[in-house]
Structure 1
Amino acid sequence: MPDASDWEHLLLFVISLGVAALAAFLVSTIAALILRAAARRSDRVGILIRRARWPFRTVLLLAGTWIATAISFPEAPWRPAVDHAYLIAMIAAGAWLVAQSFLFLADLGVSRYRLDVADNRVARRIHTQFQIIRRLVVVVIVVVAIGAILLTFPGVRAVGASVLASAGIASIVAGLAAQSVLSNMFAGIQIAFSEAIRVDDVVVVEGEWGRIREITLSYVVVVTWDDRTLVLPCTYFTTKPFENWTKYGSDLIGAVEFDVDWRVSTDAMREELDRILAGTDLFDGRTSVIQVTDATGGLVRVRVTVSADDSAALWDLRCLVREELVEWLRDEDAAALPQQRVIVGREASEPRSTPGATPRAGLFSGTADGENRASEFTQAIPVQRADEPEGARS
């Protein structure tokens, strides 16, 4: 049975633990009040408090509990093992607090650059780079914390020299084993700082139109126009060609093509296009052109070129122009609708000739003069035609 001194130590520990918990709560509350008073007009302090509240309280509670244990059981034989456990917990809680503090600083830097504006090229670059930096720093903090925890074990410190001695061979083996992982990680870093793609960029990959939603150290998330999600490795964007429609800006030019009859009135079509564009906010006023780009197969091809502020507006504008011009051709210029002409009868096989014109004589035209010239060049044997009298070529 525990003696009176053990009960006294246990009672002292309970009291110390309660005091430590109360102190941790009071210190965290006072720190939150000070921060709120220092920045009353800013919402960023609230973000910091939400991120760091629990890590900070955990560190304070662990520190208070450790102190309470040291005061209550100064001579206990199990103290070294408990102190070791407290040290590991403090390292983990400290890493948690440092990581949350850095994430708050990263969010603070990114919040100055908004993505919901028309010209957000710089904002997309900053968001992309900070996404990669955040993940790298968090990984580094976790690795350092794990290393610090391992170094608290005497056995690990003893084999440290041998580990360093074999670091060259181990790095080669690890590099070969994790080749794809490392290549994706370096590709993610390259993407972040080369600006090949950025968060919210409009891209065409694997024949799919979509926006970059997320860039990590190993993969890139693309959300397509129909809300499907494509997850591609980072090496895809460093080894394969793809389209980036917002690399240097979001404004684009698109075309709508029509195959119409030769009787189409391009001037009237231009006037109708101007009327359509004047009545929509999708058009940005930069480019409005109608050109006849081809005239073969009994039809002419009319290409309408328009521009918009971004790819989504351009798609809607192209659809609007196509619909309105189709209705206009059907209702106002029906003669321009595609038609196929077929000539039936003897006239279709007879060449047209102008009345009173002299027949055109060529080298092999079939006329007497033409055949005489042909015989001079080819030394051909004269052949009597059916409509010539007997002996005419003798």
Structure 2
Amino acid sequence: MRLFFISPLLDVLKLKGIPEGISNIIVFLVVIVLVIFVGKILQYILRKIAVQLGKSMDKEHLFESCIKYLNCPLTFLLPFALLYGFVDYLPMSPHVNLIFLKILTFAIIISIAWIIIGLIYIARDEVYFYFHKNDTDNLKERKVTTQIQFISRILVACVVVITICVLLLSFERFRELGTTMLTGVGISGIIIGFAAQKSLGNLLAGFQIAFTQPIRLDDVLVVEGEWGRVEEITLTYVVVNIWDKRRLVLPINYFIEKPFQNWTRTTADLLGTSFLYVDYSVPLEKIRAEFTRLLEQNPIWDKKVNVVHVTDLKEKCMEIRLLMSAKESGPLFQLRCDIREGMIQYIVANYPNALSKTRIEMSKEKIVL
């Protein structure tokens, strides 16, 4: 039994004197084009349905993710699945038919694995949508997104490995080879373990970081003498976005084995200092009043810490520490610069003689010859 149009098409080609082999090829190509066309129509219909559902359910972000991650795999899966159903109707010899079925099976398995990976990414994006990191105090959001990112990478790797195994097991020769090699799995495992212990160590460190979380996405770190934010955490390395837009890439086990500073481990707010070196004659109460005024008019200050201390007395001046606080490390740096600039302008305008100076005392003495 063949599709309704194949026999008439073969008869027409036969009447035109086209050899049977070429006729079969033409019919084969016509069926493939038709299947691809039908698959595209189905894909278009599904896309329109997804867009309409997203608008009606107020879940546009979800259906946008579905279109983003499932559009390409469905482009291949639908035609392959339709062609798999029609392959018995094509004018092919049994041997060619078997080979074509095997190729289609491989293509369908890969497309299904691609769809599963897309579903993993859709779930990840949904978590990112509900636990966004835009808030200032985003400890919970960063904790969840770090774990989800690592888990999604592990799941994708598992899907890829399982897909490769399924493809290999579809070959009889590979199944026999696998059975033969089972006796050497123990020795091979030991050899591979020694050869790849560095990579395995990184992978285990990745698990430890994902769940104990000494660092999270968007954490502020001081590492290798550089200040930056955690931009990406993979299975084997961490990318730190340095303040001047450079990227510092470190192996993931670095954060297990070596010390580093995490400024946002439990909270994002920090204390900052600015130092003034002025003459002993400067009125401290005026300095405190001006410091408070500058803080109150600056929106970066979180209104928690406002302290002025004389922290040291030096030979030529005294050291005044201005202590302040802000919700994040980046704005805190700007606040410190603003306060330092404002205080210097205030002292220059009101107490110019109070700037640090060198004193020389001259006395008249009678010189006896």
TM-score range for the pair, normalised by the shorter chain length? 0.7 to 0.9
1:37 corresponds to: 52
Q: Deviations over 1:177-232 (max 9, x none)?
A: 11111111221222121121111111111111111111101111111111111111
TM-score, normalising length from structure 2? Answer: 0.88
84-93 or 301-310, which deviates more: 84-93
| 1:243 partnered with 2:261 | yes
| DSSP-derived class of the 1:166 partner | helix
**2:42 paired residue among 24, 27, 39:** 27
For 1:233 and 1:313, locate their aligned partners in 2 and report how far apart those are by CA, in whole Å.
Answer: 29
| DSSP-derived class of the 2:277 partner | strand
CA contact (8 A) 2:127 2:145 kept: no
**2:141 paired residue among 103, 117, 123:** 123
5+ residue gaps, structure 2, are 1-16
Letter in 2 for 1:26: I
**2:301 paired residue among 283, 286, 303:** 283
**Which has the larger share of helix?**
2
2:282 corresponds to: 264
| DSSP-derived class of the 2:88 partner | helix
1:293 corresponds to: 311
1:78 Cα deviation (Å)? Answer: 2.4
Give aligned pairs, total: 347
5+ residue gaps, structure 1, are 348-394
Answer with 1 or 2: which has the greater Rg. 1
For 2:31 and 2:317, locate their aligned partners in 1 and report how far apart those are by CA, in whole Å.
Answer: 94
| 1:66 partnered with 2:88 | no
1:338 corresponds to: 356
1:139 Cα deviation (Å)? Answer: 0.8
**1:47 paired residue among 28, 49, 65:** 65
Letter in 1 for 2:76: T
1:138 Cα deviation (Å)? Answer: 1.0
Letter in 1 for 2:59: S
Q: Deviations over 1:339-365 (max 9, x none)?
A: 233445588xxxxxxxxxxxxxxxxxx
| DSSP-derived class of the 2:94 partner | coil
| 1:318 partnered with 2:333 | no
Letter in 1 for 2:37: L
1:9 Cα deviation (Å)? Answer: 4.1
1:90 corresponds to: 108
| DSSP-derived class of the 1:39 partner | helix
| DSSP-derived class of the 1:30 partner | helix
68-77 or 3-12, which deviates more: 3-12
Letter in 2 for 1:99: I
| DSSP-derived class of the 1:302 partner | strand
For 1:18 and 1:320, locate their aligned partners in 2 and report how far apart those are by CA, in whole Å.
Answer: 68
1:75 Cα deviation (Å)? Answer: 4.0
Letter in 2 for 1:296: K
CA contact (8 A) 1:13 1:68 kept: no
| DSSP-derived class of the 1:95 partner | helix
For 2:200 and 2:127, locate their aligned partners in 1 and report how far apart those are by CA, in whole Å.
Answer: 28
Q: CA RMSD in A?
A: 2.2
CA contact (8 A) 1:17 1:68 kept: no
Identity value in percent: 32
Q: Counterparts of 1:1-394 in structure 2 under 5 Å?
A: 6=21, 9-40=24-55, 41-43=58-60, 44-73=62-91, 75-345=93-363
For 2:48 and 2:316, locate their aligned partners in 1 and report how far apart those are by CA, in whole Å.
Answer: 81
Q: Deviations over 1:229-271 (max 9, x none)?
A: 1111101111111111111111111111122222121101001
| DSSP-derived class of the 1:91 partner | helix
Q: Deviations over 1:131-183 (max 9, x none)?
A: 21121111111111111111111111112223222111111111111111111
